[in-house]
Structure 1
């Protein structure tokens, strides 16, 4: 945990700037409750060309929300990094749930990976956004690097699983 706090301290001391302090809360907020991904799913489900991509994203996002927020966070109950630094002033409202894994990162990579596997060009943009959301969580000092890494790995796995499940379902029917 000391190494992880050192990484966050480095980001806090050397990478923070006025532009980052403006943009990172906005980027992070896009991942609140999977908001940006739910909007994308809604749009994709309304178009026949992207409907399967939307379904794959919805399945991946659902798996991520259930496993990350309803199972893993209550099991691990990891304290947020800002709580380890008395006097740390956050530039966003302090999250009250557990730190591990990063739900923003998990759901973002779940949806973005599912989209990437279905539609490479749009999915590439989604993966960049997912990476920005993931970095924002460390920039804002609300997640340890291992929280974010777990979110990337789990989310990517759920994205892959949902794509393969729907691909198999499409093949069967």
Structure 2
């Protein structure tokens, strides 16, 4: 865990009031997966994008079960700010466990789902946002780097599983 704290502590040195506000806005987009849920809902409205919306929704459901219900409670990893209490947390402290990063997992589940669904431009834009959300979780000292890495891995896995479920059920 030493190198993980070194990374997190190094990120504490780049804080500025403007960057804090920007990162807070970015991280809030991932709260409860709201930006991705809204995206899925919008995609579901239009017949042309409905199948993509179903795939994104399926990926988010798989992610919720895999990451938030199973893995977080099974692994029960303490958050970095609970170990290094000298760091001042400037956003609301999450009350669940640290591994994997739920914000990151939901983001990358959506990106993978968009990619697999064939959303040519959409997955790239979503990918940039997903990377920013993942980075914000490190910036705010609420996740270890391996939590974010785990979120990426399990998010992509959730996207693949969601895609395969939809392809099997509706083709």
Q: Tell me the matched-pair count.
A: 170
Query: TM-score, normalised to structure 1's length?
Result: 0.94
Q: Is the 8 A contact 1:57 1:111 kept in 2?
A: yes
* CA distance in structure 1 between the partners assigned to 2:130 and 2:90 by the alignment: 20
Counterparts of 1:141-160 in structure 2, within 5 Å, are 141-160=141-160
Q: Give how far 1:161 is off.
A: 2.1
Counterpart CA distance in 1 for 2:116 and 2:28 is 25
CA distance in 2, matches of 1:83, 1:44: 39
Q: Which runs of 4+ in 1 moved over 4 A?
A: none
SS of residue paired to 1:87: coil
Q: 1:166: Cα distance to partner?
A: 2.1
The 3-state SS of whatever aligns with 2:114 is helix
Q: 1:72 deviation in Å? A: 0.8
Q: How does 1:4-153 map to 2 (within 5 A)?
A: 4-13=4-13, 15-118=14-117, 119-153=119-153
Shift of 1:76: 1.0
Q: TM-score, normalised by structure 2?
A: 0.95
Where structure 1 has 5 or more consecutive residues not aligned to the other structure, the ranges are none
What's the RMSD between the two structures over aligned residues?
1.1
